[in-house]
Amino acid sequence: MQELRERILADGVIIGKDVLRVDSFLNHQIDPAFTLRMGQELAGRFAGVGITKILTVEASGIAVAMAVGLALCVPVVFAKKKQALTQEGTVYSAKVFSYTRRELTHITVTARYVGPGDTVLIIDDFLAHGEALQGLVSIVRQAGAKLAGAGIVIEKRFQHGGENLRAEGVRIESLAVIDKMEPGVIHFA
């Protein structure tokens, strides 16, 4: 998505060799119109596969997931990073390590929201090491649902997170793929 590449180049900030800060439009402050366009693009890439649910993890993936859900007219479910007292009954969970926060969390989804009759599309803002995506795929499999694939806003391919999942047959569509980052320079695929 050319508009996203341009936005990353204009507003993205490289921190070190592997962290890209895009909080001015994606994961702290949100540009609603731009987010809707990204959601429409991701929805278009998965149109016609019978998606019944969108799944993401709180918090940064929710805005884009909502935009995709609007475009596909399906509900959005988000995995919670801490199990709430209100999550009763069967709960699917997975361990996820966040490299940017340097912490291990247990993401959870209540079983009544994702089940064997669902075809699930996972949406997330970043794919780097692949921990969050692996956890969400695990939850879809625990639920016995069909996995349509994953829609990612920005994939940092040089961190290899998508390799194992693609090798397992998971379809991954990324709006912008970064092959390499250096101070002041981003190399797109």
pTM value is 0.94
Q: How confident is the model at residue 60 (pLDDT cuts 50, 70, 90)?
A: confident
Closest CA to 143 of 105, 97, 165, 112: 112
Predicted pLDDT at 90 = 87
Q: Is 47 exposed, middle or buried (0-12, 13-18, 19+ CB in 10 A)?
A: exposed
Q: Where are the domains of the chain?
A: 32-177
How confident is the model over 83-93, as pLDDT tens digits?
A: 666 767 789 99
Asked whether residue 100 carries a pLDDT value surpassing 70, the answer given is no
Least trusted range by pLDDT, from 48-57, 68-77, 99-108, 115-124: 99-108
Confidence (pLDDT) at 159: 94
Whole-number average pLDDT of the chain: 93
pLDDT of residue 146: 98
pLDDT digits (tens, 9 = 90+) for 150-161: 999 999 999 999
Report the CATH fold assignment for 32-177. Answer: Rossmann fold (3.40.50)
Amino acid at the residue 37: R
The predicted pLDDT at position 88 comes to 74
pLDDT in tens, 127-178: 999 999 999 999 999 999 999 999 999 999 999 999 989 999 999 999 999 9
Q: What is the pLDDT of residue 147?
A: 98
Hey, what long-range contacts does 8-16 have (CB within 8 A, 24 or more apart)? 8/154, 8/176, 8/178, 8/186, 9/186, 12/186, 14/181, 14/182, 14/183, 14/184, 14/186
The band of 98, judged by pLDDT with boundaries at 50, 70 and 90, is confident
